Structure 1
């Protein structure tokens, strides 16, 4: 009596486990598919589309097109300029909201979007008349929005992408980036600053000497602080020269920020880029970290092979059917793909993070292997009952 009860309970438990595994696998597949599509859509939408780029306020001869500026203002009256950094994906209109959160999750059309907009801090004048102006933009690993700003921590990338231009309602200005700083979101020497002389020389540059990734030169002046008598910002420059900073998130730290600062000079027309090559904008893994969830997915996917291995060990006792062979091939293929993807996208010598761009793909592969395992086991049980 007791033995029969235990056998019945075991069968119910096995059936419940198979159903739960199948449901879990399908839910994971749905979640992973949604995450992949949502990430793809968000990052694709983060790039300037052709329709928007057509409104770039530059005429055929390279001079400022006030007509195009008027058209941009009709789309959104908060448009205050356009920024282009040669050889990067940075080619966007600039907006300015009533506060520094308004355009965090709004596009130029006023629609809600995770990519947000490139926007000028609310403390600055909309005509860029301040000595120090700060632009915000989200960081995307594929280079959209201000994703390429984080790449300036690489000296080679910095040297190849030091030039750009800022288009305002008053004309075209040339940008020459001269420093890259790693800081945090609460650095009062950068955020909320609108003047150069009061803050920049006394507070920002001494801080930058500690945080800057590599010594750079601006008009022959060193920023590495070797000579305390040097003038890092060039006091003898014309009064109309000013600075423009681009700020984005640093994925390696929760409140980390990467800021690049450009010396701005007035120009007459849009000029041909003299350095750098355009980024392809292809999807690529995040840099400088590896995801622990991805490693867990690889391990769990490999574990799905174990039941199939046990069946082949006992192949003399039970006949292996075609469905089980196909299931084995499917799980092995999923394991190989999982291992290769992890090997190509993750560097375990880098700092660890919970998830990254590739996590939904790894979950999708694991869920596929789990579903194949559950379905194959179900086929085996059905065959056993028929026999």
Structure 2
């Protein structure tokens, strides 16, 4: 066998090995990606310990949850959706962006209240954030409210605090820019509340009239909307306090 043939055969074997290594690396990467994706979404599911302490309108207490994490300020439920989570309140809006209920790193983060808001939800305008996760996890279902049929079929929810329950009357959803929308400005009890209510009415993708006035409190729930760059879907609900722990 000539030298040239030996070199060709050696090159062929090397190429075969390189192909095998490349395929193996691709399989390993694919397996890791699947595992990583599974872990991301598993971490967005609440474990049995947290669900065991979920408050109810008849027993509106967060004490057990706050014993685990004192930053818990409420429990949010949107009826007939996947939104059923404790609400956290940090010292800034990055604290729970990628941190779970236990204070551990999690890509899915937590549902959290804007740091500018009062943790007792006494503000006229309170703003919640949550990631848009597949399968409806976290605030993944919020974007569905932009669909008229879904919007008309999902119009209620509950926000439970220590010793207090608010019924949520969902009445609008907006599609806004994260860096330009006034919905992310003047959070809390800042002025121009009447203008905010009018802005919601004029810019809503879906809207129903329920008679919201400047004397009412509203809750906004914001999540990413992948359809546009920097897009956000913002769900709006009027907060109606129940007269007592047992109901209205």
TM-score under structure 1 length normalisation:
0.59
Higher helix share: 1
Aligned equivalents of 1:260 and 1:174: distance in 2? 15
Which residue in the other structure is 1:324 paired with?
Answer: none
Q: How many residues align?
A: 246
CA separation of 1:197 and 1:102: change in aligned 2, threshold 3 A: closer
Which residue in the other structure is 1:189 paired with?
Answer: 182
Which residue in the other structure is 2:213 paired with?
Answer: 234
Measured against aligned partners, the alpha-carbon deviations of 1:255-280 in whole angstroms (never above 9, x if no partner) come to 22111010110113477xxxxxxxxx
Q: Are the aligned partners of 2:222 and 2:232 in contact in 1 as well (CA < 8 Å)?
A: yes
Cα distance, 1:198 vs structure 2? 3.2
Q: Are the aligned partners of 1:189 and 1:200 in contact in 2 as well (CA < 8 Å)?
A: no
Measured against aligned partners, the alpha-carbon deviations of 1:19-52 in whole angstroms (never above 9, x if no partner) come to 1111111111111111111111211220222221
Pick one of 98, 102, 105 that aligns with 2:98. Answer: 105
> What does 1:148-159 align with in structure 2 at a 5 Å threshold?
148-159=141-152
TM-score under structure 2 length normalisation:
0.90
> Segments of 4+ in structure 1 off by > 4 A?
none
CA separation of 1:207 and 1:94: change in aligned 2, threshold 3 A: closer
Q: Does the residue aligned with 2:195 lie in a helix, a strand or coil?
A: helix
Gaps in structure 2 of 5+ consecutive residues: none
Cα distance, 1:234 vs structure 2? 3.1
CA separation of 1:6 and 1:179: change in aligned 2, threshold 3 A: farther
Pick one of 46, 51, 54 that aligns with 1:53. Answer: 51
Q: Which has the larger radius of gyration?
A: 1
CA separation of 1:206 and 1:72: change in aligned 2, threshold 3 A: closer
> What does 1:31-50 align with in structure 2 at a 5 Å threshold?
31-50=29-48
Q: Are the aligned partners of 1:219 and 1:234 in contact in 2 as well (CA < 8 Å)?
A: no
Q: Are the aligned partners of 1:138 and 1:249 in contact in 2 as well (CA < 8 Å)?
A: yes
Which residue in the other structure is 2:225 paired with?
Answer: 250
Which residue in the other structure is 1:79 paired with?
Answer: 72
Cα distance, 1:192 vs structure 2? 3.6
Higher strand share: 2
